[in-house]
Each structure stands twice: as C-alpha cells, then as structure tokens.
A and B are shown apart, each in its own frame.
Chain A
C-alpha cells in the first residue's frame, strides 16, 4: 500500500486516526477559502516536497480547478502565467514562503491574504497548509518506512 494524503492511514488509535482524517475532510467543506485555490496550494506544497504521488493526486475538493493551472503550479511556473487571479497569486506566494518556514511570512504577505479572504481566511489558510503539509510528510514517511520506495 502506498499512500497519498487522501488515503493515508498510519495505524493510530481509531479515535485519533478518525480525528486526523476529519480535519482533512473539513478542508473540503470549509467556507473560508475557495476550494480550487486551496487545491492549488496543496499541489504547490506537494511539488516543493517532490512528492510524486501527491503531485498526481487531485483532492476531492479540486472541482473547478483548471488542469492547466495545476500544471503551472506543479512546474513552479505560475508566476509567469496570466490566468491566475490576484487571490490565487497571493495564496501561492504565501504557500511558498510557508513551506520555507512560517517565520519567513511577512506582514505584507499576510495582509494580502486578509485583504482577499479576511482574518478567518488567513487563519484557515495557515491551518490548512499545516495539516496538508502534515499529511504529505506522513505519506512520504510511511511509504518509505514500509517499502523503502
């Protein structure tokens, strides 16, 4: 069994495993950020982790995301393309800095996000990135621990 963040199961106590999955599922139900934009952020994190299986995944909330945009995000070429709107650009820029370390997030980056999505949107984005990153990392760890792949 090889995992992506969508199928990840780490064998934890059932209540804990279910609670961890519930956060993933809540990302697809939340109303603070456009889901297609969040999917672009997930793909950017996957690319930065060089997580091949994760890059091939399209999450259940990816509905409405253009595959052309996904390709540009995965290739790190989104900066040079015209079809990303201002909010998507802000989220992707924020995601790239978050991946380097949350201490590098600037007030300007944060203000861009609150300008588009409000304070709740900023909190949601940073929580979502945290738990998306968590599932990508765990999928990488458990795939390698189990198979050496």
Chain B
C-alpha cells in the first residue's frame, strides 16, 4: 500500500472541514456533492448511528483502509456503540453475540462488498423482516459511500501503516 501521497492537498485557506481540506478538495466539481452525501448518510439516515458505524467499519476492514479502520464517530458512541462490540465486526461475526439485526446488516454489507451479483431474494426477505424499505435503502447508500470513499483514500496513497483509534464527528455539510 502506498504510504506516500500521490497528490498534494489544496493549500490555504483551510476551511476546517475534513473533506474540503483533504485531497478530495482538488476535484472541485465533485466536492460539494460528495460533502453533502457523506454528511447526510449520518444526519438524515433512518438507521441508528451505531449500526451505520458497524457497516462503516465492516467496509474499512474489508478494504483495509488504515485511516477508516482507526476512525470512530462520536454519534455512534453516543448511540451506545462500544469497542467491544466493534471488535466483533470482523470475519466470524455470524458466530458472535451480535444480535440478529446487526448480523443481517453486516451480511447485506458483505454481499455488496464481496459479490453483489450473488444477492438473493432470500436476503431481501430477511432484511424486510428487520428493516423498513427506507432503512434498507439508507444502509445501501451508506455502504456504497463508505466503500467508494475508502477506496479513494487508499488509491490516493499517503496511508500510514498503522495509527491509533481516534474519535471525530461525522462530516458537517
């Protein structure tokens, strides 16, 4: 994995926004739509932040984005998410003590991440027993966004080999 960044983030003025001040700020024509979506995935979702955090971390560990793996969102902590629970969002989660709804959400994420062409109507039937259609849609867009953004972060280089866990707020609008 490239540890040297392949682009230079925009110079001043800094905005204080985690996305606008990053290399993503260089592609100005895509920037505001990306900022808006990343914000809304947390702020407007019909799914609780703790479950979104689990989906985000499942993606981060699948893509192996070091920064994404080390990030924790404060809204998820306030929703009751603990490090002990997040440690279960790993291979073998199906045999963990996560609840049925959480395991199902992670199975949905894995289908998207690993083999989208093998999604089954059976999975949809089980999803509909636990989630509303809107919640399924919100989870789908959240997983898709996390996947796209984490792959961007890895592809642009500059990824540290490891870093400690840190807490931040979701991106503002």
Interface size class of A (residues with CB under 8 A): 35 or more
Give the residues in chain A near B112, CB-CB below 8 Å. 137-138, 141
Is A64 part of the contact surface with B, judged by Cβ < 8 Å? no
Is B121 part of the contact surface with A, judged by Cβ < 8 Å? yes
Residue of B nearest to A27 (CB): B30
Most chain A C-beta atoms within 10 Å of own C-beta, residue among B6, B147, B149 = B6
Is A120 part of the contact surface with B, judged by Cβ < 8 Å? yes
With A10-B141, A23-B33 as given contacts, are A16 and B44 in contact (CB-CB < 8 Å)? yes
In the complex, the answer to whether B140 meets A141 with C-beta atoms within 8 Å is yes
Q: Which of A29-37, A55-63, A75-83 contacts B (4 or more CB under 8 A)?
A: A29-37
Give the residues in chain A near B117, CB-CB below 8 Å. 49-51, 140, 144
User: How far, in Å, is B153 (CB) from chain A's closest CB?
Assistant: 8
Give Cα distance in the complex from A137 to B21, angstroms: 29
In the complex, the answer to whether A29 meets B29 with C-beta atoms within 8 Å is yes
Give the residues in chain B near A123, CB-CB below 8 Å. 7, 23-24, 26-27, 152, 156
In the complex, the answer to whether B45 meets A16 with C-beta atoms within 8 Å is yes
Most chain A C-beta atoms within 10 Å of own C-beta, residue among B134, B145, B155 = B155
Is A124 part of the contact surface with B, judged by Cβ < 8 Å? yes
Is B154 part of the contact surface with A, judged by Cβ < 8 Å? yes
Give the residues in chain A near B154, CB-CB below 8 Å. 102-103
In the complex, the answer to whether A119 meets B7 with C-beta atoms within 8 Å is yes
Most chain B C-beta atoms within 10 Å of own C-beta, residue among A15, A26, A137, A148 = A137
Give Cα distance in the complex from A145 to B126, angstroms: 11
Give Cα distance in the complex from A49 to B116, angstroms: 9
Give the residues in chain A near B140, CB-CB below 8 Å. 10, 12, 138, 141-142
In the complex, the answer to whether A148 meets B33 with C-beta atoms within 8 Å is no
Give the residues in chain B near A145, CB-CB below 8 Å. 119-121, 123-124, 127
CB contact between B134 and one of A13, A23, A110, A130 (< 8 Å): that residue: A13
Is B151 part of the contact surface with A, judged by Cβ < 8 Å? yes
In the complex, the answer to whether A141 meets B116 with C-beta atoms within 8 Å is yes
CB contact between B6 and one of A27, A110, A129, A147 (< 8 Å): that residue: A110
CB contact between A15 and one of B4, B44, B116, B136 (< 8 Å): that residue: B44
Q: List 27 A-B contacts (CB under 8 A).
A: A10-B137, A13-B40, A13-B44, A16-B40, A16-B44, A19-B36, A20-B144, A23-B33, A31-B29, A32-B29, A102-B155, A107-B6, A111-B6, A119-B7, A120-B26, A122-B7, A123-B23, A124-B26, A126-B155, A127-B34, A130-B151, A130-B152, A138-B144, A142-B140, A144-B117, A144-B120, A145-B123
Given contacts A119-B8, A138-B140, A148-B121, 4 further A-B contacts (CB under 8 A): A20-B145, A30-B29, A110-B157, A127-B148
